[in-house]
Amino acid sequence: EIIAAVKGFFAESAAPRPLAGRRAVVTSGPTVEAIDPVRFIANRSSGKQGHAVAAALAALGAEVTLVSGPVTIPDPAGVRMVRVESARDMLAACQAALPADILVCAAAVADWRVEAADQKLKKQPGGAPPALVLSENPDILATLSQAGARRPRLVVGFAAETETVVEHAVAKRRRKGCDWILANDVSPATGTFGGDDNTLHLITDHGVEDWPRLTKQAAAERLAARIAEALAAASPKEPA
């Protein structure tokens, strides 16, 4: 008992690892949907916020799988990387990474994909532009929020909005069935997409909490600390 207490004391004073023994899956970056062999639809997500969340969870001791679309930023240290392109690939990679205690969906997932052509679409002289036939992609957040044995205990989504940010996000939380939503304004004027800062609103079943403008790293650390608190309250760990 004394040895265990001493071990616990040193572990905590060196670096608190409240998420040790927890598994987390984080999605990050854009998804890329092929139109044909050379063209694609993507979005302006840099992956900075999702990668920072993965790093912050790992820093608190979680075993993190980071499922990321194509980005140009470095891989965070200490996480398992899974690289994907399309929304369907991302969903499959997340499902393969379960079970987990924590799921944070920070990727900017394409709502729609294109019925992709096998050959490059050719411009026909004098012809009309081709019709891009869109199909709805699977909803990764909603799919993984569904009740069931493999549902992560805490599912956190992001809502990237350009208008009535909080209202949209509150509705989104209810619709998706996730536990928390972090809502942010990604209007071009905010510089959020690709930038280093983020102004977030945390929406839980207790209401809306407005966070100050933070660096994406500080926002990730705040989120990771909140996740650790929530999991500890829900299922206190055995005393060391």
Span near a second copy by CB under 8 A; candidates 7-15, 74-82, 131-139, 196-204: 131-139
The yes or no reply on residue 160 touching a second copy (CB under 8 A) is yes
**Shortest reach from residue 29's CB to a second copy, in Å:** 13
Which residue in 156, 186, 203, 223 binds a second copy (CB under 8 A)? 186
Which residue in 5, 9, 20, 37 binds a second copy (CB under 8 A)? 37
The yes or no reply on residue 134 touching a second copy (CB under 8 A) is yes
Would you say 32 and 196 are in contact if contact means Cβ atoms under 8 Å apart? no
The yes or no reply on residue 111 touching a second copy (CB under 8 A) is yes
- Total residues in contact with a second copy, by rule CB under 8 A: 38
The yes or no reply on residue 130 touching a second copy (CB under 8 A) is yes
Please tell me whether residue 133 adopts helix, strand or coil conformation: coil
Residue 144 parent element (H or E): helix 140-145
Please tell me whether residue 89 adopts helix, strand or coil conformation: helix
Whether 43 sits among the annotated catalytic residues: the reply is yes
| CB-nearer residue toward a second copy: 166 or 230 | 166
| CB-nearer residue toward a second copy: 45 or 217 | 45
The yes or no reply on residue 13 touching a second copy (CB under 8 A) is no
Smallest CA-to-CA distance from 25 within 100, 108, 106, 107 is with: 100
Alpha-carbon distance of 9 to 191, in angstroms, equals 43
Would you say 61 and 20 are in contact if contact means Cβ atoms under 8 Å apart? yes
Give the count of beta carbons closer than 10 Å to the beta carbon of residue 113.
21
Residue 186 backbone phi and psi in degrees, to 5: -110, 25
Rg from Cα positions in the chain: 20
The yes or no reply on residue 119 touching a second copy (CB under 8 A) is yes
The yes or no reply on residue 42 touching a second copy (CB under 8 A) is yes
Footprint on this chain of a second copy (rule: CB under 8 A): 35, 37-45, 72, 108, 110-112, 119-123, 125, 129-132, 134-136, 160-163, 168, 175, 186-188, 193
